[in-house]
Structure formats: C-alpha cells, structure tokens
Chain A
Amino acid sequence: MFDFLRTSYDLNELLLKGDGENYGINVMLDKRTGRLTGWLSYAWGRARRRFENPLYRKSYPASHERIHELNVVGTYRFNQRWSVGATGVFASGTPFTAPKHFMLINGTLVSEFGEFNANRLKPYFRIDLSANYNFSCKNGRESGINFSVYNATCRANHLFYRLKFHKGKFGYRPVQFLLRILPSINYYYKF
C-alpha cells in the first residue's frame, strides 16, 4: 500500500466526479387477505450521470441503473403450521464498460475500452423459495423453523466481466458469485 501511495498515483485521479439525475415510476399491487398474500411491483427508472472529465462529455447511465425491475413476493398459508413463500426478481442488466479489443503490449494483454457504460449485462433473474413451520403461537409470541433456497433456479447472474487467465488460456469472462444457489435453515422466535 505504501508503494502504491509513494509513487505518483493519486486516488482522486481514479474517481469520476460529476452530477446527474434519477427519475422513474413505480406501481405496486398488494394483496393482504386470504390464504395467498403478497405484492407485485414494477419500477421503470433511469439514472443518468455527467462528469467533469473532458473525456466524458455525454450523459451516461449510472453503473447501478436498472431500467426495468419487477418484484413478485407471495406467501401461501396451508394451515396454522405450514406456509410457503416465493420471491421473484426480474430486472434489466446493469451497464458496464467493455473493451473494444485487446492488444499485446510489453508481453502482456491490455484492454482498449469502448464508450463508458455503453454495454449491459444480461437481465437479472432470481427466484427464492421458502417454507415455514410454526411450532406455536401463544400470547403473541411465535416460533418456528424456516427452510429457504436463494436463487432456486441456479441462474448465473453476472456481476461484471474481466479478462481472465486460466491454465495458459485467456478469455473475457463474466464473474458471478461462487455459490449460485444458497440453501439455509433458520429458527425464528418472534416476541
């Protein structure tokens, strides 16, 4: 770290500064009665950014911008003991800056980047499933056990891309979470 700081590197040079605006709409449907409860929401939004850097003269999408996002959450109660739930998230991919090509310089591969945030990751899609078993419900106190699976469809949602080297090979590869699916068991006590 001291080597990094001691040379002519300046962290401020690595940050893009500027301003921007966010705008959008959100609609939501909520069902609170009956065996099946839950809600559904859809959001359309834009997040645009402008920078002081003269190399970035246009308005660009922010790196976290998801133009469309649909969330579906539902719970079905079979009886006093058992209930199941599901959450679905469908969203546009976020912007990223992809290289136009690589070049061989000084014995290594170097990226030549295209326009800032001109590319988008593939759409995000995730479904989580859960089942709850209630042990008891006395005096407003409730306890039970929860079984859940995060990303039940095992879909590989990409986080970003990077130039990877592996066993004498190279490729511009997407990076995702190591664990695509995450099962869990929880005990809960409400008081």
Chain B
Amino acid sequence: MWFLKYFLIPLNFLLFACQGDDLIDVSPQLVVEGWIDNGGFPVVIVTTTVPIRKEYTDVSSLEDCLVRWAKVTVSDEDTTVVLTGKVEEKYFPSYIYTTGQLRGEAGKCYRLTVEYGDFFAEAETTVPHVARVDSFKVEPTNDETLCQLTACLTDDSFSSNYYAFFVMENASDIPSSFRLSPQGIFLDNAEDSVLRIPVYMPTSLFKTPENYSRYFSVGDSVIVKFVNMDSVSYNFWKSFEDIRMLSRNPLFPALDNMESNIRGGLGYWCGYGASYYPVKF
C-alpha cells in the first residue's frame, strides 16, 4: 500500500493534472485582403481572425468575422479616396470595399489604410506592367471527363519575373472569385524564356474532397487571371501557397507563418499587372 500511497497516486496526479490538449487563446487581429490591378479599381475585404474551435462549426459562421464598418482609404501620389462598402455575392465573405474613382496605373505606388475600432492597418504596393500569356493548351487526362490546362508564355525581360495564376469558376451555386491556382505562384529564374505552366482548379471552402479535382471538367467555363507582381506580393503568395499545401500535412508541417505587408494586421495589399483569359473546356 505504501507504494500506491507514496508513488502511484502522486505520479498519477503529476501525469494527468498538469497537461491537456492546451490551445492558446489570443486576442483577434485585423485581416486585410486588398488588391489593385493595372487599369482596375481597388478591392479590399476586411475581416478579423477566426478563433480556434475544437467542435465542428458551420462554414457560414465565418461571415461573423466580416468587418462592415471600417474606414478604408486608398491613395496615390495625388489623390486619396475613401472606399465604399457593398455586398458582393461572388466573394466570401460577401462584402467588399471598392471605389469607381481610382484606377491602378503601372509604375504608381498606392497606400492603403484601414481603421476599425482600435485597429489601424496600413500598407503600400506598386502596380507593375501587364504580363500576358501567349496561349493555353487543353490536354486530355487519364479520366476522359477531365482536362489539363497549360499556359505557355514568353518571359518578358522588362517585367519583374514574379507571376501567379488565379482562376475564377463560372459557378452560380457557390461564391466564386479569383483564387490562387494550386502551385500557381512562380518565380521565373530559368534561362529558358519560354515557359509552360500547368494551371489547376483552386480548392474552396465549399468543395468537399469528393467533389473536387485539380483538373477541369469537360463543360467547365473559367476565367484565368495572369498577374505580374512585385517581390513583396510574391513573398506573400508564396508563403500562402506553402501554408495551404503543408499546414494540414503531418509529415511536412508548415514551419513559418504567412508573410504580410500589412502593418498593424495580417493579410496583403498587392498591385497586379493583370490580364484575363476566358477558357471553355
């Protein structure tokens, strides 16, 4: 009995009392998603971080993180514009801040500020020149109902060499905005100036693994957005892609958090030299 009294019982308390699956409870932060295309209007989505929940929660509850009453301004060297909030169903969450009074111009620098309660976030970005795709090639896969899309482009020595492909589905049943194509961020440091880059269907919160394929289905209709960006924007999207690919992989878990050019918050403010291509499969 002495063994039980003086060793096992205290040890049991030591083992089970000190530790649990402890998760950190931290205060929320501001998350800013903003971009301005060459020739396009600025678009900004403002949310707060989503607290960690162990129990299953409906995806639609993420709308609760949306910030609808922020003061969002974008300014270039000459003008400052306060963006207007409006409901836009194709985005998730379905609320954006935008304006029709300011368009992105190549070579210009744009400053973003977001004020909401005690939060103040700011960032700067530059809009580079437009980069274009020479052609797209649609090839069959082993599954005859699916197609592989490949973009062919010639590297322009005048551009910054930081590229990304975004894809928007023409879907009416789920929110569908431009999302980064898996492995669609790349740095052209190859000597060969002709590039062949596969473009894949992005994942979505509204797709289950059963109804998602990285290839495109016959009959699909999408718009591909090809962007040229600066190194800061590239670093953000590269870290986003790393996290997206690795954070759910127990063998190679993501080690670093996403980079951000937002001071006072998380997320990105990116300038794009963008070109758009509708593709029907």
Set B24, B28, B204, B268: member contacting A118, Cβ < 8 A: B24
Which stretch in B97-105, B118-126, B175-183 binds the other chain? B175-183
B136 on interface, CB distance cutoff 8 Å: no
Chain A residues whose C-beta falls within 8 Å of the C-beta of B258 in the assembled complex: 105, 110, 112
Main secondary structure of the interface of A (DSSP, over half): strand
Check if B183 sits within 8 Å of A3, measured CB to CB.
Answer: yes
Closest beta carbon of chain B to A21's beta carbon, Å: 21
Task: Give the docked Cα–Cα distance between A119 and B54 (Å).
Answer: 15
Interface string of B83-97 (1 = CB under 8 A from A): 000000001110000
Nearest opposing residue in chain B for A163, CB measure: B248
Q: Within residues 24 to 56 of chain A, which ones have a CB less than 8 A from any CB in chain B?
A: 42, 53, 55
A111 / chain B contacts, CB cutoff of 8 Å: 243, 247, 254
**Contact, CB under 8 Å: B24 / A110:** no
* In the complex, chain A residues whose CB is within 8 Å of the CB of B93: 104
Does B20 lie within 8 Å of A122, measured CB to CB?
A: yes
Q: Indicate if the CB atoms of B19 and A105 lie closer than 8 Å.
A: no
Query: Which residues on the B side are within 8 Å of A166 (C-beta)?
Result: 56
Contact A119 B50 (CB under 8 A): no
State how many angstroms separate the Cβ of B182 from the closest Cβ of chain A.
9
B51 interfacial contact with A, CB 8 Å: yes
A7 and B186 contacting across the interface, CB-CB below 8 Å:
yes
Asked whether, in the complex, the Cβ of B16 is within 8 Å of the Cβ of A123, the reply is: yes
Name the contact of A91 in the complex, choosing from B15, B21, B92, B268 (C-beta under 8 A): B15
* Known A-B contacts A70-B11, A107-B175; A98 and B250 likewise in contact (beta carbons under 8 Å): no
**Do residues A168 and B23 form an inter-chain contact, with CB atoms below 8 A?**
no
A174 to B14, CA, bound (A): 23
A152-188 at interface with B (beta carbon < 8 Å):
158-175
Q: Which of B49, B60, B183, B256 contacts A102 (CB 8 A)?
A: B49
A83 adjacent to chain B (CB < 8 Å):
no
Can you spell out 11 A-B residue pairs with CB atoms less than 8 angstroms apart?
Answer: A68-B15, A98-B24, A100-B24, A107-B92, A110-B247, A112-B49, A112-B258, A113-B247, A160-B250, A162-B250, A174-B54
Report, nearest first, the 7 A-B pairs whose CB atoms are least far apart.
A101-B49, A169-B56, A102-B50, A171-B56, A103-B31, A100-B26, A122-B21
